[in-house]
Chain A
Amino acid sequence: MKQSPLLENMIEALRCLPGVGRKSAQRMAYYLLERDRTGGQKLANSLAQAMVDIQHCQQCKNFTENELCVVCANPRRDHSTVCIVESPADVIAIESSGVFSGVFFVLMGHLSPLDGIGPEELGLEILEKRLVSGDVQEIIMATGSTVEGEATAHFIRDMVEPYQIPVTRIAQGVPMGGELEYLDANTLARSITERRKLDF
C-alpha cells in the first residue's frame, strides 16, 4: 500500500541505518508517530545538530564538535604516548579499561586495498605532523588482530621508523577467563610465540 509522502520519506530515511530494512524502518516510524512523538522530535533535533556540528578532532580524528576532542584537550593526559586505534568504539573500549592515560589517534578504518582503503584514506599525514613536532615518545599500535589490522600496524611502524620513536603493539593471546581447549589455533600459536617471562 502506498503511504503518505512524508511517511514514505521518513521510512526511506530510517533505512540508512545499518541493519535496518524496509520492515524495521516502517516499524520504527509507526512507533515514533504513534507512541513517542517527543522522543522522535528529540531524535530529529539531535540528528540535525550532530550532522552539522560534529567534525573530526584536528589531532586524533575522533568525533567532536570542538577543534579538539575531550581527550586531546585534557592537559592531564600524557600527550607523549599515542595509542593508534581503528575506530571511535576502540577509544571507548580502551578508556573503559582505565589503564591508559595517553592520547589517541583514530584511523577510522584499516588498510584494505580490496575495499579501496589506502594510507591516504586513514589520514596518516595528520599523524606524521604530530611525529614531526617531536612531542611523541611512544606509539602503541592497538589495531585489530586481523590480517588488515596487522598490515596497518606494520605500515605505520615503517612510517614512524625514521623518527626513532619506539612503537609497541598491544599484547595478543589468551583472553581473561579463556580456557585453552576452546581457543582457536591461531590465537594459541601467537600466545606461545609471544610468551613472556614470569617476572611478577
Chain B
Amino acid sequence: MTSERTAIPLIVLHSRPYSDSSLIIETFSEHQGRIPVLSKGARRTGKQSLRAQLQMGVLIEACVTGRGEIKSLVRPEVIESTAGFYGESFAMASYISELLIKLTHPGDPHPSLFSKILNCFKAISTRQNTLLSIRLFEQCLLTEMGVNVDYEQDVNGNAIDANEFYRLTPFYGFECVAMDDKNVESRSSHVPLKGEALLAISRQYLSDAAVLSTVKYINRRLIDAQLGTTKLNSRELWLKWHGRYQQTQKASLSMQNNKA
C-alpha cells in the first residue's frame, strides 16, 4: 500500500455534494483501483479553483489519507486536464465512469485499466478514435473482471471458422449456428456473428467498422451479464440525446423545407 503522505495520480470519475461544504469524489488510481475520497470544504466560497480540478476525466495528483471506507483527499494538483465533454461526449464519459463505479470494488487493484481510462477520456473529449478507445476500455474492464472469451475456439473446442456464423452465450462462449436456423434469426438477443469478425477480434484488427460493431455487440452482452439487473443511466441518457439529436435534425430540415 502506498504511504499515506505520498501523492499518487488519480483520475476523477465523478463528484457529488456531501454535507454543506464538501464533495465525495470517485477516483481511480493505478495500484489501488477505485478510491472514493472526501474533499473537505471543496464547496465553500473561495474554493472555486479546487472544484475546477475535481471534474470528470481530469488526472490529478494528491495524497489520500485516513483509514475509513472514505478517505480524505489532500493537496490535489492537476496533472492533465481534458478539453471538456460537450453534447453526446458527456454521456460517453459518464458511461466510462458508471461502468467503473458499478463494476469495480473500492480498493481492488486494476493496474492495466488506468491507462485505458485515461486514453478513453482523452479520446472522448478530443473526439478522436472515440469508439475504438471505448471498445478497448470495455475489453480491458471485462478481462480485469475475469471475463475471458475465446475468440479462436467455440464452446465445443472447434476452431472458429471464418465462413461460419456463431452466437454468443455469456459465461460460455461462441456456439456455431446454421444461418438457415429460423429459431436463431427470430431471437433478437442471439444475433449471429460472423466467424471472420471473431478471428479479426482475436488478432485485435479492430480498424474495420463491421468488426468494431461486432466488438460493441459482444462487449455489451458481456457487460450486461455482469451488471445483472442494474441499469446504466448513462446509456439511457445517450439514447435520449441521440434521439433528440435526430429529432432536431428532422425538425430543422422540415423548417428549412417549409421556408424554401
**Which residues of A does B touch, CB under 8 Å?**
18-19, 111-116, 118-119, 145-148, 150-151, 154-155, 158-159, 161-162, 164, 175, 182-187, 189
Contact = CB atoms under 8 A, between A and B. Distances in A.
Given A111-B237, A114-B94, A118-B233, 16 more contacts: A113-B233, A114-B98, A114-B234, A116-B233, A147-B84, A147-B93, A151-B85, A151-B87, A151-B90, A154-B90, A158-B241, A159-B248, A162-B251, A162-B252, A184-B49, A189-B81
Contacts of B91: 113, 151
A140 B237 CA distance: 23
Contact of A158 (B57, B81, B245): B245
Contact of B248 (A112, A114, A162): A162
A158 B87 CA distance: 8
A20 to B, nearest CB: 9
B52 A184 contact: yes
Contacts of A148: 90
A155 B57 contact: no
A158 B49 CA distance: 29
Contacts of B87: 151, 154-155, 158
Nearest to A161: B248
Contact of A147 (B85, B234, B248): B85
Nearest to B247: A162
B14 interface: yes
B244 interface: yes
A147 B236 contact: no
A118 B240 contact: yes
- The residue among A18, A164, A184, A185 with the most chain B CB atoms within 10 A of its own CB is A184
A200 B82 CA distance: 33
Contacts, number: 92
B20 A186 contact: no
A119 B237 CA distance: 8
Interface in B153-196: none
Given A18-B19, A185-B81, A158 B248 contact: yes
B86 A154 contact: yes
B14 A114 contact: yes
Nearest to A164: B255
Contacts of A164: 255
A113 B98 contact: yes
Nearest to A114: B14
Given A114-B98, A114-B233, A155-B241, A150 B84 contact: yes
Contacts of A147: 55-57, 84-85, 90, 93
Interface in B126-157: none
B155 to A, nearest CB: 35
Interface in B50-91: 51-53, 55-57, 78, 81, 84-87, 90-91
A130 B87 CA distance: 23
A119 B93 CA distance: 17
- 7 closest Cβ contacts across the A-B interface? A162-B251, A151-B90, A113-B233, A184-B49, A113-B234, A19-B20, A19-B19
B52 A187 contact: yes
Interface in B208-243: 233-234, 236-237, 240-241
Contacts of A118: 233, 236-237, 240
A167 to B, nearest CB: 12
Nearest to A184: B49
Contacts of B94: 113-114
A116 B21 CA distance: 22
Contacts of B90: 111, 147-148, 150-151, 154
A158 B244 contact: yes
B53 A184 contact: yes
Interface in B243-260: 244-245, 247-248, 251-252, 255
A132 to B, nearest CB: 12
24 contacts: A18-B19, A111-B237, A112-B16, A113-B98, A114-B98, A119-B240, A147-B55, A147-B57, A148-B90, A154-B87, A154-B90, A155-B244, A158-B241, A159-B244, A183-B49, A184-B48, A184-B78, A185-B78, A186-B53, A186-B55, A186-B81, A187-B49, A187-B52, A189-B81
A124 B139 CA distance: 36
B39 interface: no
